């Protein structure tokens, strides 16, 4: 890490070094054309095509390094930003829409507890001590953690085993599919937070123009994943109807087509970005409305 001190001319970009966000982050960096080669033994990698140094850190540490340190950018979970209480110290640039999960209160499925209020005054284990304390402070209607009767204990890993091993009456932990919790004999009684990976930046980045460029690249990647490009032809007389079906991300592009001798009316070509999940129904509606030559193209990348 001493190398960081010798990188005055590079933007420092903190990304998770392992865990549920790491692989997707690497894919996202590649899509944004941030090329790098990371040695297995190093937690720093220099981009080969941009003045960027990637710093691989535990996701829980990234909000602090971006908010209080020299890191200009970072990717970490919304849960980690809130746990570190760093929202006033960082700019939340973009929800990256991956790594989605829930921070939940879980209790033994075979027990009598069915709502979080029943855990007041009992033992809670979590790696999210601050968020857990805030949640139970509100349940107890007290304004300070020291006044709580509920005991919050920190455990860094294997939180789901705490109830079975007699350490806790309930836990607060991240849940993705829920299979791990079911295997541990637990059930959810409350959701504290829905979380996903976010792109954050320093309030005063050293390279604001480069931060803006990376932000727009990531924004374009997310748009390319969400949308497809739908092209079709339609008589101008039905244009207002088909544009209601494909209004575009902001607006559709309409071109006049050269009129053939056999045409009795003017035709137009329409191009619009359409959300990928709805494209099947949209194509059906366009066809039923009188549009023809309906083509759909995958968007590899874009700027929006």
- pLDDT digits over 225-255, tens only? 999 999 999 999 999 999 999 999 999 999 9
Higher local confidence (pLDDT), 157 or 223: 223
Cα 32 from Cα 220, distance rounded (Å): 9
Q: What is the largest CA-CA distance in the chain?
A: 85
Instruction: For residue 100, count other CB atoms closer than 10 A to its CB.
Output: 15
First CA to last CA across the chain, in angstroms?
36
Cα 188 from Cα 129, distance rounded (Å): 18
Cα 15 from Cα 59, distance rounded (Å): 7
Of the candidate CATH numbers 3.40.190.10, 2.30.40.10, 3.40.800.20, 3.40.50.300, the domain formed by 101-195 belongs to: 3.40.190.10
Of the CA atoms within 13 Å of residue 262, those in its CB half-sphere come to 0
Cα 107 from Cα 232, distance rounded (Å): 54
Of the CA atoms within 13 Å of residue 11, those in its CB half-sphere come to 25
Q: Tell me how far CA of residue 132 lies from CA of 13, 63, 173, 230, in angstroms.
A: 29, 18, 9, 46
Please, what is the angle between helix 22-31 and helix 208-226, to 10°? 100
pLDDT tens digit sequence for 82-100 = 999 999 999 999 999 999 9
And the tokens for 207? 């390279």
* Rg for the chain, CA atoms, rounded: 25
Q: Which residues pair with 125 in a beta bridge?
A: 153, 171
Residue count (the chain)? 304
In contact, 131 and 79? CB cutoff 8 Å: yes
Q: Which residue, among 227, 206, 205, 207, has the nearest Cα to 303 in the 3D structure?
A: 227
Model confidence at 3, pLDDT cuts 50, 70, 90, reads low
pLDDT reported for residue 19: 78
pLDDT tens digit sequence for 155-164 = 988 899 999 9
Is 9's pLDDT higher than 90?
no
Is 4's pLDDT higher than 60?
no
User: What contacts 38, CB < 8 A, 6 or more positions away?
Assistant: 45, 54, 56
The CATH fold of domain 2-99+196-206? D-Maltodextrin-Binding Protein; domain 2 (3.40.190)
Higher local confidence (pLDDT), 127 or 38: 127
Q: Which residue, among 244, 232, 226, 230, has the nearest Cα to 304 in the 3D structure?
A: 226
Classified as helix, coil or strand, 82 is helix
Domain(s) labelled CATH 3.40.190.10 in the chain stretch across: 2-99+196-206, 101-195
The CATH architecture annotation of domain 227-298 reads 2-Layer Sandwich (3.30)
Q: Which residue, among 115, 124, 76, has the nearest Cα to 99 in the 3D structure?
A: 76
Domain(s) labelled CATH 3.30.70.120 in the chain stretch across: 227-298
The stretch 283-300 carries a mean pLDDT of 97
Q: Which residue, among 31, 81, 47, has the nearest Cα to 198 in the 3D structure?
A: 81
Higher local confidence (pLDDT), 112 or 261: 112
């Amino acid at each position: 890490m001493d190398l960081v001190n010798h990188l005055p001319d590079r933007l420092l970009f903190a990304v998770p070094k392992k865990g549920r966000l790491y692989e997707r982050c690497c894919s996202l960096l590649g899509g944004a054309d941030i090329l790098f080669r990371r040695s297995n033994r190093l937690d720093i990698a220099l981009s080969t095509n941009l003045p960027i140094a990637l710093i691989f850190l535990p996701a829980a540490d990234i909000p602090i390094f971006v908010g209080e340190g020299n890191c200009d950018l970072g990717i970490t979970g919304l849960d980690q930003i809130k746990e570190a209480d760093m929202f006033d110290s960082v700019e939340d640039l973009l929800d990256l829409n991956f790594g989605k999960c829930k921070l939940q209160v879980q209790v033994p499925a075979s027990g009598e507890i069915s709502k979080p209020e029943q855990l007041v005054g009992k033992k809670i284990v979590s790696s999210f001590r601050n968020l857990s304390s805030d949640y139970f402070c509100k349940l107890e209607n007290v304004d300070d953690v020291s006044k709580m009767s509920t005991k919050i204990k920190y455990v860094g890993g294997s939180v789901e085993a705490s109830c079975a091993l007699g350490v806790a009456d309930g836990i607060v932990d991240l849940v993705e599919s829920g299979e791990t919790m079911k295997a541990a004999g637990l059930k959810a009684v409350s959701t504290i937070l829905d979380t996903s990976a976010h792109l954050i930046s320093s309030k005063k980045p050293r390279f604001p123009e480069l931060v803006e460029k990376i932000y727009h690249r990531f924004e374009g990647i997310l748009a390319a994943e969400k949308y497809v490009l739908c092209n079709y032809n339609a008589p101008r007389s039905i244009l207002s109807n088909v544009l209601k079906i494909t209004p575009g991300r902001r607006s559709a592009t309409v071109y006049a087509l050269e009129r053939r001798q056999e045409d009795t009316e003017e035709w137009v070509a329409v191009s619009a970005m359409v959300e990928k999940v709805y494209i099947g129904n949209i194509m059906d509606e366009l066809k039923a409305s009188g549009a023809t030559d309906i083509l759909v193209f995958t968007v590899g990348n874009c700027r929006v």
